[in-house]
Amino acid sequence: MPGGRLTQQERQRIATGLADGLAYAEIARSLDRPTSTVTREVMRNGGPTEYRADLAHRAAERRAHRRRTASAPDPASGPLPYGRDEDAVAEYEERFTTVMMGSGLAKTMSRVMVCLLTSDTGSMTAADLAKRLRISPATVSKSIAFLESQSLVRRQRDERRRERYVIDEDLWYQSMIASVRSLEEQVELAREGVDVLGPGTPAAVRLENVSHFLQYVAENLARAAEQAREVLHAKPSSETAGD
C-alpha cells in the first residue's frame, strides 16, 4: 500500500470517482489507499459535492509549506532526537490533529494535545507550547483550561517553580472515568424524563430505552477502563528498547 501524500493524479481520480457516484471505500481501493485517507481528503476540501482536484492539491501544497515553516527547529536546537525525520513527524502530527478534531476538539486544542502527546517528556510550559505551535500565550492558556476541564491535561510545578502542562498515562484512564460520570448523569436525566412525560407515552418510552442503552455503555466502559488500566503503564519490550 503506498504511503505519503496524495499526488495530483490521485486527487483527480478521487474527483472522477465522486462524479461517478462511487463510495469512498471503492475510490480508496482503486488507489490502494486507506478509506480514511480518501474520506479525510474529501471532507477537508469541500465535501463530495464541492471537491475539486486542482484546488485540493494547491491547498495541500500550502499546508505542507506552512507545516515545514512551523516545524522548522531553531538553528541552535539541532536535529530531532532519535534520528526522527522532520517531514514525517510534521505530517504525522497534522494527521493526528485532524483525527482529534474529528472527535470534537477545536483545532488549536487538538494541536496542543498532539504536541504534548508526541513530546518525549510528556510535559511543556506555556512558553514551550507557544513557541512550538507559534500561537499566543493567551491561546495556550485557553486551550489548556479546556483540556484540563476534560481531565486530559494537568498542571504541575517543576524544580524551577515554572508551571508545566502534563499529559501522562493515567490521564487517559481518568478521562474515561469522566466520560462514565457524564454518561451516568445522562442516564439519570433520561429516567427523570420518563416520569415528567408520563410512563408509557412515546417520548417516555424513547427516553427509557436511551437510559438503558447509556447505562449499559457506562457500565462496560468503566469495567473496560479498570481492566485495561495497567496497559497504560506497560514498559517497552527489550526488543523495542534496543532498536
Statement: the pTM of the whole predicted model exceeds 0.85: no
Rounded to whole angstroms, how far apart are CA atoms 19 and 38?
Answer: 14
Going by C-alpha positions, the residue among 76, 77, 78, 59 that lies closest to residue 67 is: 59
Is the Cβ–Cβ distance between 55 and 8 less than 8 Å?
no
For the chain, the residue count is 243
3 state DSSP class of 166: strand
3 state DSSP class of 237: coil
How confident is the prediction along the chain (243 residues), in pLDDT tens digits per residue?
455 788 999 999 999 999 999 999 999 999 999 998 898 899 888 888 889 999 888 888 877 766 655 555 554 456 788 888 887 888 888 888 888 888 788 889 999 999 999 998 889 999 999 998 989 999 999 999 998 888 788 888 888 888 999 987 787 888 888 889 999 999 999 999 999 999 999 999 999 999 999 999 999 999 999 999 888 877 766 544 444
Report which residue type is found at 20: D
pLDDT at 3: 56
Q: Is the dihedral of CA 119, 122, 128, 133 positive or negative?
A: positive
Largest Cα span, the chain = 71
pLDDT at 171: 77
For 164, the enclosing helix (H) or strand (E) is strand 163-166
pLDDT at 22: 92
Going by C-alpha positions, the residue among 169, 70, 178, 193 that lies closest to residue 117 is: 169
All three cell numbers of 203: 417520548
Going by C-alpha positions, the residue among 69, 142, 155, 80 that lies closest to residue 116 is: 155
pLDDT at 75: 47
Report which residue type is found at 140: V
**Residues contacting 12, CB < 8 A, separation 6+:** 53
